[in-house]
Amino acid sequence: MFQLRCTVRNCNLDLKRQATSLVCSSGHHFDRAKEGYWSLIQPQDRKSVKAGDTDTAVLARHRWLERGHANELIEFLTPWASKAAACSATETPRILDLGCGEGSFGPALFGNNADGYCGIDLSKRAVRMAARGWPEATWVLANADRTLPIHDQSIDCTMSLFGRRPVSEISRIAKPNAMCLIAVPAEDDLIELREKTQKAGHRRSRWKTIVDEFSVAGFQFVKHQLWKQQMKLDREAINDALAMTYRAVRHSQHARLESVTAMQVTLAADVLLFQRSV
Ligand SMILES: C[S@@+](CC[C@H](N)C(=O)[O-])C[C@H]1O[C@@H](n2cnc3c(N)ncnc32)[C@H](O)[C@@H]1O
Ligand SMILES: [Zn+2]
Domains defined for the chain, CATH in brackets: 16-276 (3.40.50.150)
**Beta-bridge partners for 220:** 275
Q: How far is the CA of 31 from the centre of ligand 1 (A)?
A: 23
Position 246 confidence tier, pLDDT thresholds 50, 70, 90: low
Q: How far is the CA of 258 from the centre of ligand 1 (A)?
A: 28
Residue 76 CA: distances (Å) to CA of 108, 158, 233: 12, 18, 20
Q: Give tens-digit pLDDT for 119-150.
A: 999 999 999 999 999 999 999 999 999 999 99
Q: Beta strands 155-161 and 262-276: pairing type?
A: unpaired
| Closest residue by Cα to residue 242 from 54, 47, 99 | 54
Residues 6+ apart with CB under 8 A from 59: 125, 243
| Closest residue by Cα to residue 134 from 121, 149, 117, 120 | 117
DSSP, res 237 = H
Question: Coil, strand, or helix at residue 140?
Answer: strand
Distance CA 218, CA 64 (A): 35
Measured by CA distance, the residue closest to atom 10 of ligand 1 is: 163
Question: Coil, strand, or helix at residue 183?
Answer: strand
Q: Give tens-digit pLDDT for 139-181.
A: 999 999 999 999 999 999 999 999 999 999 999 999 999 999 9
Average pLDDT rounded to a whole number, residues 47-51? 60
Report the amino acid identity of residue 106.
G
Indicate whether residue 144 lines ligand 1 (CB < 6 A). Answer: yes
For 139-256, where are the alpha helices, taking DSSP H only? 167-173, 191-198, 207-216, 235-244, 251-255
Indicate whether residue 123 lines ligand 1 (CB < 6 A). Answer: yes
